[in-house]
Amino acid sequence: MIKKQEPLTETAYLILLAMLKPNHGYGVMKFVEEKTKGRVVFGPGTLYGAINNLHKKGWIEPCPTKPGERKIEYIITDEGLKRVKEELRRLKEIYEIGVEILKGRGENHDKEI
């Protein structure tokens, strides 16, 4: 039996993408705001909780810090990368379903988006 894929939340998905390079909380916040053109702005409590959870799950890990450095940088792990790729496949699938159905109704989705 194929293990059922758990969809990622938008929060987890975006944080994992932001941590493909070593990144800290502030960097993640700016990355997400910029990439979504201000649509998604993480609250500090949400961002803190999500980073902690992803760390506990082993999908991201802290980078070694330089002495005197306060900010903790994290980087995605192999497991985290696997999850992002799975999520990308899932998003592609539901995206394509949407396009197919809308096209069947004679609507041009590209124009609407």
| DSSP state, residue 62 | E
Beta bridge partners of 62: 74
Residue 98 within binding range of other proteins, rule CB under 8 A: no
Chain centre distance of CA 53? 13
Residue 21 within binding range of other proteins, rule CB under 8 A: no
CA distance 44 to 31: 14
- Judged by CB under 8 A, which of 49, 58, 62, 98 binds other proteins? 49
Task: Kindly state the smallest distance separating residue 69's Cβ from other proteins, in Å.
Answer: 11
- Judged by CB under 8 A, which of 20, 26, 79, 88 binds other proteins? 26
Residue 11 within binding range of other proteins, rule CB under 8 A: yes
Task: Kindly state the smallest distance separating residue 15's Cβ from other proteins, in Å.
Answer: 12
- Judged by CB under 8 A, which of 34, 46, 91, 95 binds other proteins? 46
Q: Compute the half-sphere exposure of residue 92: CA atoms within 13 Å on the CB side of its CA.
A: 6
